[in-house]
Amino acid sequence: MLATDIDSATASAAAAGGAEKRAYVKRIFSEIAPRYDLLNHVLSLNIDRRWRRKAIAKLNVERNPTGTYLDLCAGTLDVAAQVAGLAGFNGLVIGADFAEPMLKAGAGKVIKSKVAPVAADAVELPIGPRSLAGAIVAFGIRNVAVLDDALREAFRVLAPGGRFVILEFSTPRVRVLRSLYLFYFRRVLPLIGRVVSGHRTAYTYLPRSVASFPVEEDLAERMKSAGFTSVTWSSLSFGVAAIHVGERPVPGRNESR
């Protein structure tokens, strides 16, 4: 078997989840950290910046501008930096990611007094229960080894009334758009990603991880199963990505599940 075939098989196995996924994801994101931001913007035609702004708006930080927030699977701290830079924000953003080289690559973006990078796994956060005003994860939740464990952990650390916002890739439902999207995602994106990053499998893993991730309705149900209420979701760019929002309920308040 050729090395490229072995790499492809490893990427496929990792996309399915479990311990192999955790080890693979941690390794590849550590390896591509220096060019991660450039590739994100190039491969998404810069649309990812607008998607992040929309997701951050859903976090509704203005409700508690002095609170502590979590940027989960923070990568190079793009979202943490944007939250910390919001007008009137005087709180703290914890940027948690288990690939420490990613955090180091983004260290120059952040206001140190407002952002605290922490090397930590999404399923075992060094954060006390019910201590966060809100949490957000952008393009990282599909990379966790066990999705339901990560959802329950996010629920655990949120204070009552706190929001959890998920921004993640999805697949368009309209047939023509879906065909174009899958061609780009499966054929063009891995080639560009491999050339620019120098990594053989990181951008082969990406479309496979999206294909293995729950569709929007299923993710919403799994958020509810983890305890979140008032769960909603909305599509972005004709279904290329989606934003999910859920809350930790306030005791005694009637909440729609």
Q: pLDDT tens string for the chain (257 positions)?
A: 333 333 555 555 565 566 789 999 999 999 999 888 887 887 787 899 999 999 999 999 999 999 999 999 999 999 999 999 999 999 999 999 999 999 999 999 999 999 999 999 999 999 999 999 999 999 999 999 999 999 999 999 999 999 999 999 999 999 999 999 999 988 998 888 888 788 878 888 888 999 999 999 999 999 999 999 999 999 999 999 999 999 999 998 755 55
Q: CA–CA separation, 248 vs 155, rounded Å?
A: 6
Predicted model pTM: 0.91
Q: Residue 30: what pLDDT?
A: 94
- Measured in whole angstroms, the distance separating CA 249 from the mean position of its chain's CA atoms is 22
Q: CA–CA separation, 207 vs 192, rounded Å?
A: 13
CB distance 136 to 165 below 8 Å = yes
In the chain, what are the domain boundaries? 3-247
CATH fold label, 3-247: Rossmann fold (3.40.50)
Q: Residue 2: what pLDDT?
A: 30
Burial letters for 35-60: b for 16+ Cβ neighbours within 10 Å, e otherwise? bbbebbeebbeeebeebbeebbebbe
Q: CA–CA separation, 250 vs 162, rounded Å?
A: 9
Q: Residue 94: what pLDDT?
A: 98
Of residues 172, 168, 173, 174, the one with CA closest to residue 244: 168
CB distance 123 to 146 below 8 Å = yes
